[in-house]
Structure 1
Amino acid sequence: MPSRRRTLLKVIILGDSGVGKTSLMNQYVNKKFSNQYKATIGADFLTKEVQFEDRLFTLQIWDTAGQERFQSLGVAFYRGADCCVLVYDVNSMKSFDNLNNWREEFLIQASPSDPENFPFVVLGNKVDVDGGNSRVVSEKKARAWCALKGNIPYFETSAKEGINVEEAFECIAKNALKSGEEEEIYLPDTIDVATNNQPRSSGCDC
């Protein structure tokens, strides 16, 4: 069988602990949501194949721990990223205020060749909570922050309800593609792209 042309796109999800990073990833890849909260230890990743314009891409989505004690692991996981997703909880002002720290930390650790134009996408998660009555960060405030940082694409999501998750990751994939186009790899269909390009993290059930 002839080889198909694939591109591996590495996406990193960052944000405070508990904002829903793991839930967003699981909703997108597995169409599942769990009410049981379990903090990510270190980092984990899932992969999903997506197709644009008759080309096949493997999205490798890295879910990193939000706790500060794991942030020293950042360098290894951030390097080679094609897009960074910043997630906050619309019901937590602190998680929104910390977006800047996560963005700056990523740029320092990942050292992208063109930091000014590196693609970020911001997700305001948990819009479903309490029917929106617990919300403390307005969409206007979030969009204003994104505009100041170079017009970062912004989506309001609910990992629980699946609101805007598919649309957000479609945007993430397209932005990753713009940044990672030059890293095309040619592999037979039988090869697992993810395991041949990154080491598995412990406890990964991909």
Structure 2
Amino acid sequence: MLNEELIKTLAENCAPVRPLAHPARRALVWFAVSLCYVAIVVAVMGVRPDFLAKIADPQFATELAAAFLTSIVAAAGAFSAGCPARPIWERFAAGVFLLVWVGALAVGCWRDIDAFGVAGLLSHSDIYCLPTILGISIPAALLILSMVRRGAPIAPFVTIGLAALASTALAAAALRLSFRQDAAVSVCIWQFGSVVLLTGIASLFGRVLLHWTMRDALIASFQAHRR
């Protein structure tokens, strides 16, 4: 009976809304706009001088492609998490490309060991990567946040985590296109590590950034109607 009353209240008091586009389509829109921004950032910072030689390296090409694919699939997952009828697996599809990214980095570490011995694993501090990735990712993060807020915040922590992963993975790819830093452990710790850290921190603010104000208003309206 309670459900029937709630449905009746919603039908009488809620204005018609325009359905959201498919999560994949919204992700493509976000990615296209963000990619244009990233292209400008890379152009300003300058493309690494050995780019043509590096992109011919399967390990580097795989790493770069995995970062871009992680970004767009994580964005699609974030939009999917705001649609109650979408399959749960869509929220975790980005994990496949994240694992490919990790695998490419692991291959890089192995190559460094093979070429330089254990000394190839030694990493110098590239702490600048964290603020750089954060700075590059902010505009893309604000854009995807404005887009995911149009959905239903039924999984706020996952949604914000995926949105942050999408933005920071794209920023990390931009960094690889500009900065000539190829020590595998440095890339793994300071660039990939920054992506993981920023994603984890952002996800903690899921409920703050995606507070379901409409739900609270509907509950209050329903309770008032019952009285």
TM-score normalised per structure 2: 0.31
More RCO (CA 8 Å, sep 6+): 1
Structure number having the greater helix percentage? 2
Q: Whose strand proportion is higher, 1 or 2? A: 1
